Amino acid sequence: MDGLIVIAVFFILVVVTISMGVRIVPQGSKHVVQRLGKYHRTLPPGLNIIIPYIDIVAYKVTTKDIVLDIPSQEVITRDNAVIIANAVAYINIISPEKSVYGVEDYRLAIQNLVQTSLRSIVGEMDLDDALSSRDQIKAKLKAAISDDISDWGITLKTVEIQDINPSETMQKAMEEQAAAERQRRATVTRADGEKEAAVLEADGRLEASKRDAQAKVVLADGVTNVGMSYDVHIDGNNASSSHVFDLDPDATIVRAASPVSVADPDAVNKLVSETLRRFGRIDALANVPDFTDPSSLLGGALDDVTGAVEQLDSIGGLIDGLFGSD
């Protein structure tokens, strides 16, 4: 009976020993083996044999890509603006023994290293550059930490900037600044439109004034060339009439063909001279080249035109009274 117990114990011991000496490593992992407390070797994926009780599997390390989430942190830019930034790093362990013996906790070490490097890089940039230069920050960050983590047997696949935003206070200030800028642009645009409209309206009034003045001058010029069917000669107490009477602005006397009695020849000559003087002023106005104030220029001219026409009517009536109708 005692012999059976010894055999059973021995059998169990053998089974346990064999199980301890056989190690099956899954794909995507590596096991670090220590012999008597010292690093011995790294077991690759598959079936591996170790010496029981002497060799032990101290660490099991994954060889898959590891995603490390870098916590958010406040970063101060070169122009003293506060922004909130976080990142994510993709790493791969290529040397398990270095990763377990080179650093106490490679995950925590890489997180701290990325945060420190990120603060340093962003601190050398202005706020606008930091917000718009993610690719540049990414490249600098990768270059800054790749060499350091390679000593731990880890390679950095890539590092991405997840969020980089201004702090709440800074974001509020930026929104107010953007709103003020939009308001300023709207005010400038509105003022430019009103200015252009005023200029166009003034140009329209000026053009209308010029055209009105030109029309009145053309009318006045036409009046100076009007002829009448009377020709009168005043000589002492005698006067005569014929079939033609031409109002020439350069003339000083109106002549007639046959004598006739006139009650007051001086009054007739005075009336004709005043009429010719008015037409002379109208003709001079037709040569004015510039209309800086058309209304003021034409004010007197219109009075002369009106007066000249009235004078012509008076001369016509006087001549009809002197000579009678033909």
Q: Three-state SS string across the chain, please?
A: CHHHHHHHHHHHHHHHHHHHHEEEECCCEEEEEEECCEEEEEECCEEEECCCCCEEEEEEEECCCEEEEEEEEEEECCCCCEEEEEEEEEEEECCHHHHHHCCCCHHHHHHHHHHHHHHHHHHCCCHHHHHHCHHHHHHHHHHHHHHHHHCCCEEEEEEEEEEEEECHHHHHHHHHHHHHHHHHHHHHHHHHHHHHHHHHHHHHHHHHHHHHHHHHHHHHHHHHCCCECCCEEEECCEEEECCCECCCCCCCCCCCCCCCECCCHHHHHHHHHHHHHHHHHHHHHCCCCCCCCHHHHHHHHHHHHHHHHHHHHHHHHHHHHHHCCC
pLDDT tens digits, one per residue of 111-145: 999 999 999 999 999 888 888 888 899 999 999 99
Does the CA dihedral 34-40-45-46 come out positive or negative? negative
Name beta bridge partners: 32.
42, 59
What domains can you pick out in the chain, each with its CATH number?
2-62 (no CATH), 66-166 (3.30.479.30), 221-323 (no CATH)
pLDDT tens-digit profile of 206-264?
888 888 777 777 666 654 444 443 444 444 444 444 333 444 444 433 443 333 334 45
**Is the full-model pTM beyond 0.95?**
no
Q: What is the pLDDT of residue 114?
A: 93
pLDDT tens series, the chain, 326 aa: 677 788 888 888 888 888 888 899 999 999 999 999 899 999 999 999 999 889 999 999 999 999 999 999 989 899 888 889 999 999 999 999 999 998 889 999 999 999 999 999 999 998 888 888 888 999 999 999 998 899 999 999 999 998 888 877 777 777 777 888 888 888 888 888 888 888 888 888 888 888 877 777 766 665 444 444 344 444 444 444 433 344 444 443 344 333 333 445 565 556 556 555 555 554 444 444 444 444 444 445 555 556 655 655 665 555 555 545 44
| Torsion sign (Cα): 301, 305, 311, 312 | positive
Round to whole Å and give the CA distance between 322 and 275. Answer: 18
CA distance 8 to 63: 41
Q: What is the pLDDT, as a whole number, of residue 90? A: 95
